[in-house]
Amino acid sequence: MSRSQRRAWNSALRAPRSAFRVAHVLRKFDPAEWGGTETAIQRLFEGLRAHHIQSLMFCPRLQKPLPREPLAGDGCVVKRFRSFLPVWGISAARRRQMIAVGGNLMSFDLPLTLWREPGIELIHTHTLGRLGGIAATVARARRLPFVATIHGGYLDLPPALKTSFAESGRIGIEWGKIFGFFLRSRRTLEFADAILTCNPNEARLLREKFPGKRIQVQPHGIPVGLFQKDCRAAARKAFPQIRERQLLLCVGRIDPVKNQGWLVTQALETCKKHPRALFIFAGACTDENYGARLRKQIHEFNLDGKVLLTGGLPPGDARLIGLFQEAQAVLLPSISETFGLVLLEAWAAGTTVISSRTSGASALVKHGENGWLFDLENPAAFHAAVGATLANPNLQKQLAESGRELATGNSIGAVAGRVKNLYAELIEEKDALRHSSRR
């Protein structure tokens, strides 16, 4: 460590305990493929900044450098490292798709970069796999508290999705397993001082697997006030075809897990019963093959005028908020959803929700009280919910108002405050252990 780094380190350690410098490790942060995880992290950083915590984001480099990092002006320092997917024998399209949503990346830059970063008091990983293993290894070596957040499903996954992940892992030759062995990446959660998950069922399963481990249910925060600002005009200007239509909005990346194709198959019946209905899919495409099949399916079903694909819209974009506010209902047909951030966003915007019965949605939606739940195997329940929502504006408003109360309780400030308190406890405990070991 250089003299200047040592001075920065000592200066940070002398800072008041209310001010922390925390390193966050991500496996992807690409504005062109923005999703729920990126939105949740951006809002967490915003909330932590209000609590005087500086967030340092360590994430992989992009193929095309950005003219400006989206979070650089929000008190967050973004540090990108070189990474790669250690798999042979896969197509370029498959490699891009794995990097976008499911690839187990490796980096030779990250260990040294994290080790040299002065003044950090805690390492927080938002990914498992090899990058999570690197974060855990450096945290142990530097004797820093280590927190792991599970953004997707880990134990709480449908059997079909577990099978799909296992099959995708057998495509190509993964030569990077040796790195995972040395990093003990499969034990990342065992090394964590605390595990955060937004899903109560996931938390229950984690407590069974890791008894005695500190496991905290941490919902994602939303900027409630932002979604209450009237942005309908922006949406109507950007998408004039929504005028005089009954909007059924689905927000999420275009990906098989998000299951937009299931909605397309239901759109035929919905549009027959409700001729003014318009399905809107708002989200970046992270699976090229799935996106192509979806567009082909829409065309073959003669739904070109009944389905609108907007592409990716940044969080907080007035066009996206306006779509939430204009929609009669927000649809979430996911195969697996550990939280369902769009549900809170819909309620904050004053819109009712209709969701598949995933564990995340089931923890938020009370059927018939603040929204509707349906099973993917029972399309009739979906159509009943859509029909009831479109036919009864008063019921739609009542359900949305009930959900708004839950959204308000998950403000950015409240969620970040709970994370800050956890950080403070872990840092204090680790400091106490250091002092006791010196005696």
Residue 13 is predicted with a pLDDT of 43
pLDDT of residue 16: 47
Domain that holds residue 390: 224-408
pTM for the model stands at 0.86
The number of domains in the chain is 2
**Closest C-alpha to 330, from 291, 370, 301:** 370
* Whether residue 250 sits in one domain with residue 203: no
Q: Are residues 388 and 431 in the same domain?
A: no
Is 147 strand, coil or helix? strand
What CATH number has the domain bearing residue 345?
Answer: 3.40.50.2000
CB of 8 closer than 8 Å to CB of 118: yes
Same-domain status, 202 and 79:
yes
CA distances from 357 to 182, 360, 375, 398 (A): 39, 8, 6, 21
**289 with 323, same domain?**
yes
Residues 258 and 381 in one domain: yes
pLDDT (0 to 100) of residue 169: 63
In this structure, the answer to whether residues 385 and 318 fall within a common structural domain is: yes
- Do 232 and 308 lie in one domain? The reply is yes
Same domain, residue pair 278 and 193: no
- State the pLDDT at residue 14: 45
pLDDT in tens, the chain (439 residues): 555 555 544 544 444 455 789 999 999 999 888 888 888 999 999 999 999 999 999 999 998 888 888 887 666 899 999 999 999 988 888 888 888 877 899 999 999 999 999 999 999 999 999 999 999 999 999 999 999 999 988 888 877 776 666 666 667 888 999 999 999 999 999 999 999 999 999 999 999 999 999 999 988 888 999 999 999 999 999 999 999 999 999 999 999 999 999 999 999 999 999 999 999 999 999 899 999 999 999 999 999 999 999 999 988 899 999 999 999 999 999 999 988 899 999 999 999 999 999 989 999 999 999 999 999 999 999 999 999 999 999 999 999 999 998 888 888 988 999 999 999 999 999 888 776 666 5
Q: Which of 122, 125, 150, 126 has the alpha carbon at shortest distance from 135?
A: 125
Helices (H), 274-392: 288-300, 318-326, 341-348, 359-364, 379-391
CA–CA distance, 333 with 168 (Å, rounded to integer) = 22
Instruction: Using CB atoms within 10 Å of the CB of residue 338, give its burial: 0 to 12 exposed, 13 to 18 middle, 19+ buried.
Output: buried
Kindly report, residue by residue over 25-63, the tens digit of the pLDDT: 999 999 888 888 888 999 999 999 999 999 999 999 998
Do residue 323 and residue 387 come from a single domain?
A: yes
Read off the DSSP letter of residue 102: I
Hey, what amino acid is at 82? Answer: R
Same-domain status, 25 and 173? yes
Q: pLDDT at position 121, please?
A: 96
Burial code (b: 16+ CB inside 10 Å, e: under 16) for 257-266 equals: bbbbebbbeb
Q: Does residue 237 share a domain with residue 183?
A: no
Residues 197 and 236 occupy one common structural domain: no
CA distance 53 to 11: 15
